[in-house]
Amino acid sequence: MQESPPLSPGAVFDYLRALTYEEKGYEMIQAVASRLMARVLTTCVVLGLVAFSTPSRAAQPSAPGALPTVVVLSTGGTIAGRGTSLTEYKAGSILGSELVEAVPEIKNHANVRVEQIINIGSTNMNTAVWLKLASRINAIFSEEPAVAGIVITHGTNTLEETAYFLNLTVKDERPVVLVGAQRPATGTSADGPLNLLNAIRTAGAPVARGKGVLVVMNEEINGARDVTKSNTYRVEAFRSGELGFLGYVDEDQVSFYRASTKRHTSRSEFDVSKLSALPKVEILYAYAEPSTVTIKALGDSGVDGIVFAGTGAGGLSNLERAAIKAFGVNPTNQKPVVVRSNRTGNGRAIPRKEYDAEGMVPGDNLNPQKARILLMLALTKTRDLNEIRRMFSEY
């Protein structure tokens, strides 16, 4: 007896609906229902046997030629913004799952799972979210060896800070890629979809392993340590200063041309797994004829550290240096650790005898906001100035 062809759900529905208008419809419906039930039971048994005999996919490395598995952690930002204006819109209005679904081509490059961590504009990013991200990323990498990499959708205003924090706290060589957009998702000529596609491609690329945390936007790959937002609205806003970006994401492949030599990720000594908060570190901006009111207020507040965005090569005025020396006069507060950065955007703040003698730590070429992050993490381990100087040299 020849087997009947399979019935699609739509065909079954139309067939049954027609039968209800015939005299013998009830008996025929019973017959069809019996056929369907038998097939459903057979299918369930087969699927159950397959599921029982197949190892968990998460525990297996991807087969050659198979699509990589990439996890997207969504935090909001302009890339998830809603509004037709390129300047007046609400950031963090669209879910990460919607962002991925809006780019069908992603399915050609990776198997993607989305987790919504938070949905905010990145001006409201904070250390609690940083700790949550670091914990979740390390858990995914520890528990899911099949995951090739992780993408974080993020607002651009503080994206570089989140990237550098993760660069120092993620404990795996697999890629972590941050991506954002300069235009909202619903705006004219939105840049988010292509940025997201390229970030997922980079996170799934074996060539991206061991490069540290990355930032992918405008078809360029930047390293977390050096990249900074350099323009308010242009899509090519993210730059790595004089050192330059690491590579391109073109239609054919992900290409790297250089990599950071500084310590990061799996080679980092910082462990935040047991922390619920970070030391308090503030930034002061140097300028001609500065007021020392803020310096004194910070010293009196018991802040753990201060980063000076100094003039030139990290210079401080006599007024500022005198205010810092006065920190030690108040015995009730521990003197904050002071790091010299610079406001120029390029170049190093190097050791200088006059500043070293006053206990200040040179910040190398880290910009002030990243020097703050490294100092916060350094203070979770030590207050020894020589050790902190070593960290600023190595990271």
The answer to whether 78 is a known catalytic residue is: yes
The DSSP 8-state label assigned to residue 123 in this structure reads G
The DSSP 8-state label assigned to residue 335 in this structure reads P
Alpha carbons 387 and 391: distance in angstroms, whole number: 6
Alpha carbons 52 and 248: distance in angstroms, whole number: 43
Catalytic one among 20, 42, 54, 78?
Answer: 78
- The two tokens of residue 319 are 């007024």
**Contacts of residue 64, Cβ cutoff 8 Å, sequence gap at least 6:** none
Kindly state the helix (H) or strand (E) to which residue 34 belongs, with its residue range. helix 25-53
Kindly state the helix (H) or strand (E) to which residue 385 belongs, with its residue range. helix 385-394
- The two tokens of residue 205 are 């690329």
Buried b (16+ CB within 10 A) or exposed e, 242-273: ebebbbbbeeeebebeeebebbbbeebebebe
**Contacts of residue 355, Cβ cutoff 8 Å, sequence gap at least 6:** 314, 316, 340, 362
List of E strands, the chain: 69-76, 111-120, 147-153, 176-179, 214-217, 220-223, 228-229, 238-239, 247-249, 254-256, 281-285, 305-310, 337-342, 360-362
Alpha carbons 248 and 202: distance in angstroms, whole number: 10
Residues tagged active-site = 78
